[in-house]
Amino acid sequence: MASPGLVLLKLGGSLLTFKARPLSFNAEATRSVCRALQSLRKPLVIVHGGGSFGHFFAAKHNLSRSLTKASPLGVAEVKTAMMDLHLRLLTSLQDAGLAPFSLPPVSLLENAGMRSSAARLLNRLVDSQMVPVTYGDVLQTRGGFRIVSGDTLMFELARILRPAKALFALDVDGIYEDAGLTRGPLNELPAGAKGFRYLLRGVRSRTSDATGGILFKVREARRIASLGIDAYFVNGLKPERLVKAINDGVLEGTLIKGRTRD
């Protein structure tokens, strides 16, 4: 069983980096969100995205979630860039007074699924007051290489850990119905398929990336909600909103409510 009150948090690449500029780290935003997390004193497991680090080289070498026979150099460049960003985040977390424990995805995944020992390892770390931190990355599978996104890791971790809640920290105020972000974020997204198809009309045209962009995040959050876990989308550039959502369930953002099973 997971630690009581466990929070599963995705720090998006758009929050940690400036996605329009290759290999550009948003140090100020990262420091702010790390300080906010330290103030929580809640058990945490963190996943982070690639932003302008991983996605830049993934696009350069045509790597995606689909299986591909990418060049060894291309794979190496993506993995090195992700490790660069990962180390910067670990340093920021430690500077804020947290105790991050790095877990490259290969230590958790086997043949694209979670290792049988992953839940035990993560729970032991959390019980020891560590903060496990993992990230989207390139993995080798039968027939080639593919990207395992941080959003998919969020679902896989939610499935084995059953956290109290799951949060996606973005660089905007939530999920918007319209592609131009002009109507304000939706307060709640329907978990059912009919409502989701309606949403697709607005978000389908928005910017995508090697891991599927905002639409794929919503898909994975719906899978988390299917486990009975509330999934939140919150603006991480306003870290006080993360604190409110985690501590009190007060949301300034978008919620996909966990579905209860009959």
pLDDT for 204 equals 44
For 54-90, the pLDDT digits (tens) are 777 777 767 665 556 667 888 888 889 999 999 999 9
The tokens 């996909």 sit on which residue? 256
pLDDT for 205 equals 41
The whole-number average pLDDT for the span 132-144 is 86
d(CA 3, CA 142): 35
DSSP state of 257: P
The tokens 């920290």 sit on which residue? 169
d(CA 243, CA 231): 15
d(CA 21, CA 81): 14
Residue 261 has pLDDT above 60, yes or no: no
d(CA 217, CA 223): 10
Any residues with CB less than 8 A from the CB of 67 and at least 6 apart, and which? 141, 143, 144, 145, 146
Who has greater pLDDT, 178 or 124? 124
The string of DSSP letters for 126-139 reads HHTT-EEEEE-EEE
The whole-number average pLDDT for the span 44-49 is 97
Domains observed in the chain = 7-256 (3.40.1160.10)
Determine the residue type at 91. Answer: T
Highest averaged pLDDT of the listed ranges 54-63, 148-157, 170-179:
148-157
Where does 96-137 have alpha helices with state H? 118-127
Tell me if residue 65 falls in helix, strand or coil: coil
d(CA 233, CA 168): 5
Q: Which residues pair with residue 137 across a beta bridge? A: 148
Percent above pLDDT 70 for the chain = 84
d(CA 67, CA 72): 14
Instruction: Kindly report the pTM of this predicted structure.
Output: 0.89
Q: Decide: 113 and 33 in contact? Cβ < 8 Å.
A: no
Report the mean per-residue pLDDT for the chain: 86
DSSP state of 249: -
d(CA 16, CA 170): 9
Any residues with CB less than 8 A from the CB of 105 and at least 6 apart, and which? 134, 135, 136, 137, 139, 148, 153
For 183-227, the pLDDT digits (tens) are 678 898 876 655 555 454 445 444 445 545 788 899 999 999 999
For 94-122, the pLDDT digits (tens) are 999 999 999 999 999 887 689 989 999 99
